[in-house]
Structure 1
Amino acid sequence: MPGPASPEAPITLTRRRLVLASGAAIFTAQWWASRTSYAQELVTADQSGVSAFMKLSRFVTGHDNLNLETGTALFAGLQALRQTARQDIATLNTRIAQSQASDIEAFEPQIANDPLHPFVLQIIKGWYAGVLESGTNAKVYAFGNALMYQSTRDNIVIPTYAHNGPNYWLAEPNPVDAMPKF
C-alpha cells in the first residue's frame, strides 16, 4: 500500500478531478443561493402570514427587534407541525387586540386553560430555545440568534464546540503583529 504523498509531489489535475471539482462548486453555489433566498421567497409568498406571526411573536416574547429570517423559519416550522397554525395565529392576534392586554403577563390568565395556550408556549420556546419540538430529532431554527443567549451575549460566550463561538469564521480575524517562531 503506498504511503502518503510527499509534500514535493506535484498534484496533477486530471479531467476527472476537474469535472468533480466543477460539479461540487456548481452544486455549492446553487445550494447557497437557494438557501439565502429561501426566507425572502417565503416572506414574499406568504407576507401576511409571516407579518401576523411576527406581530404575535413580538407580543408573546416582549421583544420588538426579532430576526425576520428566524421568524420566517419558525413560522414555516409551525405550519409543518400544525395544520391550523395560520388560523391559530390570527385567532390569538384578535384575542390580544380585544383584551387590550399590555403584555403577555397580562394576557396569560385569559388563555391559561385555553387549547391555544400550549401553542403560545411553543412559539415562545421557538424564539428562546431555537427549537419548536423536544427530543434528539428536533430541528434547530435558531442557535446564535436564540433569545435565551441575547441578554448575556456581551459577557458570556454562547455554548459551542467552536473555540471562538458560533459563526466565528464570519468575523475578520485578528491581525498578526509578529509571526510566531517555532
Structure 2
Amino acid sequence: MALTRRKLLLGAATVSATWLTWSGVPAWGLAPAPPQEQFMQVSALLVNHRLDARVGARMAAAAAQKFPQYAQMMKSIIGIANAKQARQVEDFFADIPAGPLQDFAHWIIFAWYSGCSSPKKDAQVFAYETALTYQTTADAVAIPSYGFSGPNQWGRPIVPLTPMPSF
C-alpha cells in the first residue's frame, strides 16, 4: 500500500475537519455540573487552607445530592459572610443559625478534613492524600507497602537457604 502526498493531505484535511466539527458540539446527555464556584467560595470561607478544586467538584456534586436545599444553603452562607465582611470562618460562623444550615456548614468542614462524606460505612470518599487531616502529618507518615524493598519493608527478613544435602 503506497501512501501518496494527495492521500496524506486528504487524510489530514478529513481529520482536521472532523475535529473542528465535533469540538464545537455540546456534550449531549450529560447532566449539568453543580455550581462548583459557589461551593469553593463557601469552602474557602469555612476552611482556612489551600483547597483542591478537583476534590471540591466531587464534594459539590455529593452535596447537591445529599442536601435538598443545596443552592439556597450556599447563598445563605455567602450572604451571612458578606454581611459580616468575613475573611475567615471565625468572623461569621457564630451567626449561622443552628439547624440544617449549620449542619451543612459542619458537613463541608468535615468533608474537607476527613476526605469523605460521613463516618459511616457507606460514605463517599472524595480524597485521601489531599484530605486536610492527612496533610498535617504527610511528612511523617510512611506510605504503607508490602514490597520487600519499599517503604518500611513490611515483611519477614529473607533467610538464606541452606545448601541441599547430597545423598
Query: Residue type of the partner of 1:59?
Result: L
Inter-partner Cα distance in structure 1 for 2:111 and 2:120: 14
**Pair 1:51 & 2:37 matched:** yes
Give the aligned residue type for 1:101: A
* Match of residue 101 from structure 2: 116
Partner of 2:111: 126
Aligned pair count reads 120
Matches within 5 A, 1:73-112: 73-111=58-96
Correspondence list, 1:1-182, <5 A = 45-46=32-33, 49-63=35-49, 65-111=50-96, 113=98, 115-157=100-142, 162-163=144-145
Q: What per-residue deviation string (whole Å, max 9, x for no partner) do you get for residues 121-163 of structure 1?
A: 00001111011223111111111111111122122236xxx41
Q: CA deviation at 1:66?
A: 1.1
Partner of 2:92, secondary structure, is helix
Compute the RMSD of aligned alpha carbons.
Answer: 2.5
CA contact (8 A) 2:116 2:124 kept: yes
TM-score normalised per structure 1: 0.58
Query: Unaligned stretches of 5+ in structure 2?
Result: 1-29, 151-159, 162-167
**Alpha-carbon distance in 2 for matches of 1:139, 1:106:** 30
Q: Distance in 2 between matches of 1:82 and 1:141?
A: 17
* Structure 1: tracts of 5 or more residues without a match: 1-40, 169-180
Q: Give distance in 2, aligned partners of 1:60 and 1:131.
A: 16
Overall identity of the aligned pairs, in %: 26
Tell me the amino acid that sits aligned with residue 40 of structure 2.
M
TM-score (norm 2): 0.63
C-alpha displacement at 1:112, in angstroms?
5.4
Runs of 4+ in 1 over 3 A off after TM superposition: none
Verify the 8 A CA contact 2:80 2:95 in the aligned structure 1.
no
1:121 is matched by which residue type in structure 2? H
Q: Distance in 2 between matches of 1:50 and 1:79?
A: 10
What SS does structure 2 have at the residue aligned with 1:77?
Answer: helix
In the TM superposition, what is the alpha-carbon distance from 1:114 to its structure 2 partner? 5.0
Instruction: State how far apart, in whole Å, the 1-side matches of 2:124 and 2:44 are.
Output: 22
Question: What amino acid does structure 2 have at the position aligned with 1:155?
Answer: A
